[in-house]
């Protein structure tokens, strides 16, 4: 039998890396072989990438398609960025403008847009209104929500509200019953809002004031509070899956480990920018690097790498949230939007800064970017590993090549890269989604409509 495609390269499976052949049939991984030593050769058209690394396609569980009504990144551009960055699945946040995804009707409309406009596979978060939204959770779960997102910080009373504790408890019980992850933006509003009020008048002096307005303690107290909510709900018989989004504070990962030892099902991600940029970059580049939580001092950035290398981080995400230049050019740092692009650069950066510079094992790279998020978000039945039977989603990277980041080559509306001019070791040469080449190393070749809507399935 002839396969649709056979790839020869260094295959990165969950447990080992070896020179081998991967056969694709009908969009799935049909065979994995070490070659002649391992029985019959796989027969089919050959993509020979000998010497290059064949990773599972990246899974980014934290992106923002539509934070701005007037200037959204949109599904097409966002998934073009993903394909160019070796990422084959994303899960999109619910904080859309003008209307967040808070009920089954809005959820269904979003699924339609995704199917029409996206190029790569995607799942969706749901969320709830500030008050009275818990009854809507069931409808969104039935419609295929991957997880639910909540915030302890009020970014916007309509689009991105703080959900009070008396609403969170029933929401967490509900999600514990449904078995879906409860994902949190964890920052304390009282600490931060008081500091912003105090520092805003000086906001033209230094972009660093943004970081000072959101100190590490504001994350730690929010995380600690959420862990206690999860403990109460779990003890009451609703074992909720708690996931902390974009955790930047290294001791936070130790706190999570303690709660795991108490039987709480909790994980956390960090974002690539907290590993590759720090407060000094914010000071130099200014508003384009404004994000929440903020970039941290250089010493914390390095301590965060130690958490990654120790295996205490569940996954790395982008929090891809680009804004056009005109929303990132205000003289007072506090008047600028928060968020930056990341999909095109996450995997190359993690390879260059993690694997090459700090000795992150290749199998750990694959866990942090693919199998970890797949397992946590109910996608492991289809995605996240080089395993026979799963979707043939691949990111192929040439470790011998280098790549200099240029915003001009980006698909994003941001027209800016935080990494402009940075030369990275390793270059993505191909991205495949369900067996098809969607990025050939130069151009994104997939068309809008190729995407599938991903729904979760937990073992």
**Which positions touch Zn ion (CB under 5 A)?**
319
CB 160, min distance to Zn ion, A: 9
Closest distance to Zn ion from the beta carbon of 339 (Å) = 7
Least CB distance to Zn ion at residue 213 (A): 18
Q: Which is nearer to Zn ion, 160 or 450 (CB)?
A: 160
The residue of the chain with the least Cβ separation from Zn ion equals 319
DSSP at 146 = S
Question: Residue 23 or residue 85: which is nearer to Zn ion going by CB?
Answer: 85
Q: How far is the CB of 93 from Zn ion (least distance, A)?
A: 5
DSSP 362: H
Q: Containing H/E element for 219? A: helix 216-235
With 0-12 CB in 10 A as exposed, 13-18 as middle and 19+ as buried, what is 282?
A: buried
Shortest CB 95 distance to Zn ion, Å: 7
To Zn ion, the closest distance from the beta carbon of 90 in angstroms equals 12
Compare residues 24 and 61 and give the one whose CB is closer to Zn ion: 61
- Tell me whether residue 173 or residue 246 sits nearer to Zn ion (CB atom): 246
Q: Which is nearer to Zn ion, 307 or 319 (CB)?
A: 319
CA atoms within 13 A on the CB side of 375: 13
Can you tell me which residue has the tokens 């290294």?
Answer: 250
Residues 6+ apart with CB under 8 A from 316: 269, 270, 271, 272, 275, 308, 346, 350, 368, 369
Q: For 183-195, b where at least 16 C-beta lie within 10 A, e where not — what string? A: bbbbbbeebbeeb
Left, alpha or beta for 92 (phi > 0: left; psi -120 to 50: alpha)? beta
Nearer to Zn ion, 96 or 319 (CB): 319
278 vs 338, which CB is nearer to Zn ion? 338
Say how far apart CA 444 and CA 431 lie, in whole Å: 9
Q: How far is the CB of 455 from Zn ion (least distance, A)?
A: 21
Choose among 49, 44, 39: nearest CA to 11: 49
CA nearest to 118, candidates 149, 84, 82, 142: 82
Tokens 């009373």 locate to 157
Burial of 244 (0-12, 13-18, 19+ CB in 10 A): buried
- For residues 62 and 430, which CB has a smaller minimum distance to Zn ion in the complex? 62
Percent helix, strand, coil in the chain, to 5, is 35, 25, 40
Query: Which residue is associated with the tokens 């000998």?
Result: 50
The two counts, helices (H) then strands (E), for the chain are 15, 15
- Between 7 and 343, name the residue whose CB sits nearer to Zn ion: 343
- 342/332 Cα distance (integer angstroms): 24
C-beta of 97: minimal distance to Zn ion in Å?
A: 14
Nearest distance from residue 249's CB to Zn ion, in Å? 17
In the numeric block, which tokens belong to residue 8? 């020869």
What is the CB neighbour count within 10 angstroms for residue 405? 18
CA dist., res. 51 & res. 63, Å (int): 32
**Does a cis peptide bond (omega within 30 degrees of 0) precede residue 293?**
yes
Q: CB-wise, 184 or 305, nearer to Zn ion?
A: 184
Distance CA 383, CA 132 (A): 35
Minimum distance from residue 22 beta carbon to Zn ion (Å): 33
In the complex, what is the shortest distance from the CB of residue 179 to Zn ion, in angstroms, rounded to a whole number? 23
Between residues 188 and 319, which has the closer beta carbon with respect to Zn ion?
319
């Amino acid at each position: 039998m002839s396969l649709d495609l056979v790839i020869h390269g260094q295959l990165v499976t969950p447990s080992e890396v070896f020179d081998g052949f991967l056969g694709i049939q009908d969009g799935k991984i049909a065979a994995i072989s070490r070659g002649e030593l391992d029985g019959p050769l796989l027969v089919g058209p050959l993509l020979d990438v000998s010497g290059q690394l064949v990773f599972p396609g990246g899974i980014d569980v934290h992106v923002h398609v539509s934070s701005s009504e007037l200037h959204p990144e949109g599904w097409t551009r966002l998934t073009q960025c993903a394909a160019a960055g070796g990422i084959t699945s994303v899960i999109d946040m619910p904080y859309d403008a003008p209307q967040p995804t808070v009920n089954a009707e809005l959820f269904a409309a979003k699924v339609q847009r995704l199917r029409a406009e996206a190029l790569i596979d995607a799942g969706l978060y749901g969320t709830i209104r500030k008050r009275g939204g818990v009854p809507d959770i069931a409808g969104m779960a039935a419609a295929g929500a991957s997880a639910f997102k909540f915030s302890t910080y009020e970014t916007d009373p309509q689009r991105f509200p703080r959900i009070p504790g008396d609403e969170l408890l029933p929401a967490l019980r509900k999600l514990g019953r449904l078995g879906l992850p409860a994902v949190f933006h964890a920052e304390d509003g009282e600490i931060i809002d008081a500091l912003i009020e105090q520092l805003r008048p000086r906001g033209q002096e230094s972009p660093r004031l943004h970081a000072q307005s959101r100190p590490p303690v504001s994350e730690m107290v929010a995380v600690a509070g959420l862990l206690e909510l999860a403990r109460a709900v779990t003890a009451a018989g609703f074992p909720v899956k708690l996931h902390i989004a974009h955790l930047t504070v290294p001791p936070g990962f130790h706190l999570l480990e303690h709660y795991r030892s108490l039987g709480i099902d909790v994980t956390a991600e960090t974002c690539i920018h907290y590993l590759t940029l720090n407060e000094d970059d914010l000071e130099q580049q200014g508003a384009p690097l404004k994000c929440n939580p903020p970039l941290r001092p250089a010493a914390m950035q390095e301590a965060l790498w130690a958490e990654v290398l120790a295996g205490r981080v569940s996954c790395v995400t982008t929090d891809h949230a680009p804004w056009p230049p005109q929303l990132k050019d205000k003289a007072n740092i506090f008047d600028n939007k928060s968020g930056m692009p990341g999909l095109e650069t996450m995997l190359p950066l993690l390879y260059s800064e993690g694997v090459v510079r700090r000795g992150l094992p290749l199998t750990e790279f694959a866990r942090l970017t693919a199998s970890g998020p797949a397992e946590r978000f109910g996608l492991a039945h289809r995605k996240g590993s080089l395993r026979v039977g799963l979707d043939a989603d691949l990111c192929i990277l040439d470790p011998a090549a280098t790549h200099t980041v240029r915003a001009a080559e980006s698909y994003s509306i941001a027209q800016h890269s935080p990494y402009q001019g940075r030369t990275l070791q390793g270059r993505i040469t191909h991205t495949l989604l369900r067996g098809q080449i969607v990025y050939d190393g130069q151009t994104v070749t997939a068309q809008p409509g190729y995407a599938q809507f991903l729904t979760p399935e937990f073992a």
